Structure 1
């Protein structure tokens, strides 16, 4: 049996019990649109966050023709279109198929694969995991049983630097500098060594074992972490980076450029600027940004002029927010507007952005980060600020909430982000 796990990120509140899923998930996809208050929402899965220039432009043109003209990236490196008409599904699907973004109608919601966005671009990783991404995606779509996975089930392919290994995926494959790759199941503290050449097979076998185990006990679950007792524990210690939450950063990097989008949302002009600056490929990151492999540093000024984030060290680093009002009726506030005002006050945490911070309009906390993070929850009369996740290294409890007004929020959030990890 695996060791006890911390509360699941999709529990309704910090410390809430893991639910026993009594229904199939309603996660949106490219073919199953979600009816939001601002219109239909489509989520297009992008394994590894990979987009060619042609595919990126097809998404921009679809957003302009069918939606609100903007695209937003998600915490899994996928893309969402919003403001869609209820009858546009067929045309959207045709546009996606034409550029290879909808290879399987039956499996499109389960193509949830994150990968180290800087893999192959610098010397920090141990493997170019893009080959794993392509193989896993193709075999996933070709496996009849895989259609039974939840649209929330996540695969992570880490090149050894520890970035996506910290995202609490259901199945994580970690490349090693010497020796075999390690397979981590859920939040297990240990991994399973994988024979060279069988890495993707091991990933798929683990996902299938999860579904088989659920059928064996007659239970429904969306995530492996919800039923850790049903799958074997690993035997090999994980590398020291696990849980560190490394991320690409912003600006000129070895092998390309990295830019950020405010709350992951960018308009058509900004997306066109990304395509113009790219060298043919974009890699969307789980941190709601984009890496442009091979793009030279002299293209940063044009990206900054378009309104994209190109300078590191600001309060906007790893700052996210749910949709909030007016797009979501469940929200108690226009959280993105409130969060933007707080961040624009220019009160960064010490050493740059500090802990990740996420604004939520309700207790569902949609899209919040993994690990330790600052939870800013709308209450209807202000916000409640909490450092969510494990206790700090100094042993201070991390879950003491502070209620603040909008005017007090910037300072309270900056202080919380300084919490020692």
Structure 2
């Protein structure tokens, strides 16, 4: 099997799109400090198109960067504390159950995201990992496991987790304190058999078997069940008595102004793989004020909104491969929907058959033909 070169963008190595350079900022665990979000908003305004895009891997990206501004943008991201080492920039791909430690779940796995990244970047060999290799920490509810990560730590009680390799084989249970080391060891074992493969799913059967054997991973016994979550949009009571708010914005596009207002709340913001924005650890009075301020700015706190289930790729004119301006088409479609109806089934509108940004769950695809017409593809 021939595997093309890994061109997954980062902060230091961008992708040249039709609308300029695109930089992807890894956000391990999906959590960004308010000061960092504010700084990124300023950088998006100064060097990009003034928008911060939320991705389906829980990261952020900025488009429209001029070629001669790429280095300056990278320096701004470094100053914000969102990147440091160019060699390991693209390997810090870690997602965590977004409600972990706040609403439900068997264990709080948030601290283990930082420990995992620290262990990973401390290893020189990890710089060879593809920018697509993906780690996940699931607090037992199955939401991260549903994202088909390469190596996932899944809590089985408050002190132990299993390590799921390639979605099919299990190591453990192991104590939570050992989880980062176990997960990084699994990534190292993958490189021993990778031969240029980006992800475990790219391995042929023989190399997968070799990997599972080397790790002592077994297909026997209970495998944690993946579960796609309901929209994390609205008002959620935390176990400590405080409040978490969940919101979406159309297309997962956060304007620099919106980002600055969210940052001004002064708490960490979480980004989910469903492109949701979570603002937690608020008392009720503050939460009510946040909704009153952010809703008029375009933040959607209604879980029945079609923007909780309908998404689109970049489309034209931003992407040269797209046959249509799918985002304008989707906006027009949403405008025609009954505003009092429940959110429609999940759907993704795409300008070509690459399907960039497609959700992991089952969904309706609306595809642009070569002549620009849109049709439903089941």
TM-score by length of 1: 0.81
Runs of 5+ unmatched residues, structure 1: 1-19, 388-421
Structure having the larger proportion of residues in helix: 2
CA 1:343/1:142 → structure 2, altered by over 3 Å: closer, same or farther?
same
Secondary structure of residue in 2 paired with 1:172: strand
Q: Does 1:290 align with 2:281?
A: no
Q: Contact 2:107/2:159 (CA < 8 Å) preserved in 1? A: no
Once the two structures are superposed, residues 68-126 of structure 1 have per-residue CA deviations (whole angstroms, 9 ceiling, x without a partner) of 1111110111111111010112211221222211132100011111111111112x111
1:351 is displaced (CA, Å) by 5.6
CA 1:362/1:187 → structure 2, altered by over 3 Å: closer, same or farther?
same
**Counterparts of 1:284-363 in structure 2 under 5 Å?**
284-295=271-282, 296-298=286-288, 299-346=290-337, 352-354=343-345, 356-363=346-353
> How far, CA to CA, are the matches of 1:203 and 1:146 in structure 2?
12
Q: Contact 2:107/2:158 (CA < 8 Å) preserved in 1? A: no
Aligned counterpart, 1:52:
33
> How far, CA to CA, are the matches of 1:213 and 1:153 in structure 2?
14
Secondary structure of residue in 1 paired with 2:53: strand
1:247 is displaced (CA, Å) by 4.6
Q: Does 1:267 align with 2:246?
A: no
**Counterparts of 1:206-285 in structure 2 under 5 Å?**
206-214=186-194, 219-227=195-203, 228-232=208-212, 233-240=218-225, 242=226, 244-247=227-230, 249-255=232-238, 256-276=244-264, 278-285=265-272
CA 1:316/1:30 → structure 2, altered by over 3 Å: closer, same or farther?
same
Counterpart of 1:97 (choices 78, 82, 87) is 78
1:195 is displaced (CA, Å) by 1.6
**Structure 1 segments of 4 or more deviating over 4 A?**
347-351
> How far, CA to CA, are the matches of 2:166 and 2:331 in structure 1?
33
> How far, CA to CA, are the matches of 1:193 and 1:162 in structure 2?
17
**Counterparts of 1:14-413 in structure 2 under 5 Å?**
20-122=1-103, 124-177=104-157, 180-188=160-168, 190-196=169-175, 197-214=177-194, 219-227=195-203, 228-232=208-212, 233-240=218-225, 242=226, 244-247=227-230, 249-255=232-238, 256-276=244-264, 278-295=265-282, 296-298=286-288, 299-346=290-337, 352-354=343-345, 356-379=346-369, 380-387=371-378
Moved more, 324-333 or 309-318: 309-318
Once the two structures are superposed, residues 327-382 of structure 1 have per-residue CA deviations (whole angstroms, 9 ceiling, x without a partner) of 0110010011111211232258986343x321111111111111322222111342
> How far, CA to CA, are the matches of 1:340 and 1:179 in structure 2?
46
Q: How many residues align?
A: 358
Secondary structure of residue in 2 paired with 1:304: helix
Once the two structures are superposed, residues 269-298 of structure 1 have per-residue CA deviations (whole angstroms, 9 ceiling, x without a partner) of 21122123x342111111112111113430
> How far, CA to CA, are the matches of 2:211 and 2:174 in structure 1?
19
> How far, CA to CA, are the matches of 2:189 and 2:181 in structure 1?
12
